[in-house]
Amino acid sequence: MIFTLGRYFFRRYVVTTLWFFVGVTSIIYLIDFSETTGRFAGLTGYSLPGVLYLTALRLPLILQQTIPFVALFVGMTTLIALNRKSELVVARAAGISVWQFMMPFVVGALMVGLVTTLVINPLAAWGQSQAFNIESTWREASNRRKETTAVPWLRQISGKDDVVIGGRTVLDNGTLITDAVLIHFDSDGRIILRQDARSAKLKDGYWLLTDVTETRPGEVPTRLATAKVSTNLKQEFVQQRLAQPETVAFYDLSQKIAVARSFGVSTKALETQFHSLLSLPFLLVAMTLIAATVSLKFSRFNQSRSVILGGILSGFVLYVVTTLVKAFGSSGVMPPFVAAWVPVVVAMALGATILLHQEDG
């Protein structure tokens, strides 16, 4: 009986999850399509099929960020629907405990988390990288710069040449910098040359600059079609130094972390992303337990609005705390393992404790 009932509850959970995914995906696509159309409408290369494709590329990353809330609302919706049909009351009357009929929901949440980590995340990483390339191509063709405050900087010292390299956006896994700025210093730390280039591409042993403006102290700026700046930086080092964790697939994170360590580059952000993806299935379990704490009380027609609102607020607080602690782990304030796992473990323990108090006294 427990096996049959478990399959029924699991099937209800899966069907509700699929409907939520369809609804959330549709809403995200429409909103992001409208926002993308407004931002890129005046760019060279803009077209309706191109924007539709660009929105589809960005969709997995945005969807991945909504998964915890999807798990929360799926759990609440499924349990409230079962309550309204008195199915949970019948299950309790048959001697089945809350822990037994909650097991299908926990298994379903774990499976959604695994699909997110193993399937949606690699798609999101690939799609985000492709979307960056398309956006950069459109902006370069229109001679428009993307305004951003997150400017990557590198410093290379090759013999007597001391150069600081910055830019506005990073593409091709960190080997292409758009709107690049290279500032050259002498041995006394004085600026001797500034080079502003439309792009800087890292080749084997040199940076290839295109559309360059060179400025020296006391001299008139000169323009060059291309220029080369020698470097001892390796492509692997630059990729690890400038790569964004969101653009690295789950399957590649371990290798990226190992390579970054070999170059002496900080791996805090990559490690935090890795542990966050590992803990995501358990975060969804925590969301499901929170949903159960506010949905199991029997009510034939109307659930308490204040109780449901409390569950939504609890899930929102857990998501905010998880995101905030993840930022602490990425910046090195706390160990990445602790930053990713502690909020999840605490939330699971809290949800289980509330259920124990409600069901067993």
> Which tens digit of pLDDT belongs to each residue from 29-65?
999 888 888 877 777 777 888 888 888 998 998 898 8
Contact (CB, 8 A) for 75 and 291: yes
Average pLDDT on 293-302 reads 65
pLDDT at 152 over 70: no
For the residues 115-128, what does the mean pLDDT come to? 90
pLDDT at 235 over 60: yes
Confidence at residue 242, expressed as pLDDT on a 0 to 100 scale = 61
Label residue 360 by pLDDT band (50, 70, 90).
low
Residue with token string 């020698």: 230
- Tell me: pLDDT of 109 over 70: yes
Average pLDDT, the chain: 81
Identify the band that residue 255 occupies on the pLDDT scale cut at 50, 70 and 90: confident
Which of 112, 124, 122 has its CA nearest to residue 286? 112
Note the pLDDT of residue 150: 46
In angstroms, what CA-CA distances link 288 with 13, 16, 73, 361? 11, 13, 9, 21
Select the highest-mean-pLDDT range: 68-82, 104-118, 134-148, 298-312. Answer: 104-118
Query: Nearest CA to 272 among 201, 209, 323?
Result: 323
Whether the per-residue pLDDT at 147 is higher than 70: the answer is: no
pLDDT higher than 80, residue 174: no
Confidence of residue 137 (pLDDT cuts 50, 70, 90): confident
Are residues 212 and 230 in contact, defined by beta-carbon separation less than 8 angstroms? Answer: no
Q: How confident is the model at residue 148, as a pLDDT?
A: 44
Report pLDDT for 87. Answer: 78
Query: What residues contact 212, with CB distance under 8 A and at least 6 apart?
Result: 195, 196, 197, 223, 224, 225, 226, 227
The rounded percent of the chain whose pLDDT value lies above 90 is 17
What's the whole-number mean pLDDT along residues 231-252?
73
Residue with tokens 């002496």: 264
CA–centroid distance for 341 within its chain = 17
176-229 residue pLDDT tens: 788 888 899 887 788 888 999 988 888 887 889 999 999 988 888 899 999 988
CB-neighbour burial class of residue 136 (10 A; exposed 0-12, middle 13-18, buried 19+): buried
Stretch 290-294: mean pLDDT, rounded? Answer: 82
**Is pLDDT above 70 for 134?**
yes
Tell me, letter by letter, the H, E, C secondary structure of 314-327: HHHHHHHHHHHHHH
Give residue 300's pLDDT: 53
* Residue recorded with tokens 């124990």: 356
Token pair listed for 247: 């653009």
Q: Which residues contact 341 (CB under 8 A, 6 or more apart)?
A: 275, 279
Determine the Cα–Cα distance for residues 272 and 335; give it in Å rounded to an integer. Answer: 8
Q: What is the rounded (10 degree) CA torsion for 335, 340, 342, 347?
A: 170
Q: What is the pLDDT of residues 11-24, one digit of tens each?
A: 999 999 999 999 99
pLDDT at 304: 57
pTM of structure: 0.74
Average pLDDT over residues 135-139: 74
Question: Of the given ranges (21-30, 35-44, 73-82, 347-356), which has the lowest mean pLDDT?
Answer: 35-44
pLDDT reading at 251 higher than 70? yes
Domains, the chain: 153-247 (2.60.450.10)
In 203-256, beta strands by DSSP E: 206-215, 222-230
pLDDT of residue 257: 81
Rounded Cα distance between 246 and 32, Å, is: 18
CB 160 within 8 A of CB 122: no
pLDDT at 326 over 80: yes
Number of H helices, E strands in the chain: 10, 7
247 or 30, higher pLDDT: 30
Task: Supply the pLDDT for residue 17.
Answer: 93
Residue type (1 letter), 251: Y
- In sequence order, the 6+-apart residues with CB closer than 8 A to the CB of 243 are 170, 173, 174, 256
